[in-house]
Amino acid sequence: MTNPNERQLITEIVALARNQGLTVHSDNAQLNETGMDFQVVFAEDDTGMPWVLRKPRRSDVVERAASEGRTLAFLRANLTADVPDWKIHTPELIAYPKLSGTPAAGIDLEQKQYVWNMNHQPPSDDFVHTLAEILAELHGMNQTSADQSGIEVVMPEDFRKMTAESMADVKNKFGVSKQLWERWQTWINDDAYWPGFSALIHGDLHPPHILIDQNEHVTGLLDWTEAKVADPAKDFVFYHMIFGEKETARLLECYDQAGGRVWSKMQDHISEMQAAYPLEIAKFALQTQQEEHVNMALEALGESKLD
């Protein structure tokens, strides 16, 4: 059962869609509040087709959505996996027909943990192979074409420099534990970790953004807000965080076999990038300026929370 506040929000978001000429209905519509950037409603139109309605939570999300729209247009023309096809894109609302498939996991907000829709201890061969194939295809896309489509391109040396600058900025604004800071510095200063190339990446590849069919084949990817041409290791960080070293090695082996570009210290680099993930949380907190996000960042950085 939805509570009155949820019902009101569903009605509001459905009204935004109807104002754009999309005749979706609030009856049986469902609200999903798990995303950091969007409030999402799943609703059906007159024909029974299910739609995804995304309402931005903040103004900075609207700016980044324009970039996501360009990325999706490029991907729909070039990637074999399913991606959203935005039919409505305004500052107030994004709407697209719901893709087939089920997210590999949802999120339980109260427990703050994944609710899995697949075997994950360990993931099935079908899941691993199809994810590896999609990542190899994505990372192998033509960067010149991506650039011409308006997708941000970050060269390898620039990505490393930006990471170092983020470290210094976050240390200055939040503080970083001594142990974590020393680990970051060892990583950032060792050439052996870092790839000499960039690739088109998803940038936020965690289970709710991965769609699977009933056989656990990966069929599509959602939420391309963080997509850019950058360090390909970033697309393996959540996987490493969730499944650990052994399963990441298995995925990388399949990725290599599918034509993905692997270097000798790639898995070590992924591990170190995971250790630097508090940077992402801190940058997000700086964007939102919300106390809850600031405290998340401070905890991840090994610093004291705000009172």
**Sequence-ordered strand ranges (E) for the chain:** 24-32, 38-45, 50-56, 88-89, 94-97, 102-103, 105-108, 113-116, 199-201, 210-212, 218-221, 228-230
The DSSP output letter for 123 is B
* Cα 118 to Cα 120: distance, rounded to the nearest angstrom: 6
Q: Which of 37, 204, 223, 235 is catalytic?
A: 204
Count of beta carbons in the 10 Å neighbourhood of residue 208: 19
* Cα 178 to Cα 99: distance, rounded to the nearest angstrom: 45
204 classed as catalytic? yes
* Cα 27 to Cα 158: distance, rounded to the nearest angstrom: 49
Cα-Cα-Cα-Cα dihedral sign, residues 200, 85, 99, 32: positive
Cβ atoms of 50 and 43 closer than 8 Å:
yes
pLDDT of residue 3: 81
pLDDT of residue 138: 98
Q: Which two tokens stand for residue 293?
A: 């996000």
CA distances from 220 to 3, 52, 89, 157, 250 (A): 32, 15, 20, 31, 21
* Cα 123 to Cα 133: distance, rounded to the nearest angstrom: 15
pLDDT of residue 268: 98
The DSSP output letter for 98 is P
Q: What is the 3-state secondary structure (H, E, C) of 181-243?
A: HHHHHHHHCCHHHCCCCCEEECCCCCHHHEEECCCCCEEEECCCCCCEEECHHHHHHHHHHHH
In this prediction the pTM is 0.92
pLDDT of residue 109: 81
pLDDT of residue 74: 97
Cβ atoms of 239 and 247 closer than 8 Å:
yes
Per-residue pLDDT of the chain (307 residues; tens, 9 = 90+): 568 889 999 999 999 999 999 999 999 999 998 888 899 999 999 999 999 999 999 888 888 899 999 999 999 999 999 999 999 999 999 999 999 999 999 998 888 899 999 999 999 999 999 999 999 999 999 999 999 999 999 999 999 999 999 999 999 999 999 999 999 999 999 999 999 999 999 999 999 999 999 999 999 999 999 999 999 999 999 999 999 999 999 999 999 999 999 999 999 999 999 999 999 999 999 988 899 999 999 999 999 877 5
Cβ atoms of 11 and 86 closer than 8 Å:
no
Q: What are phi and psi of 98, to 5 degrees?
A: -60, 135
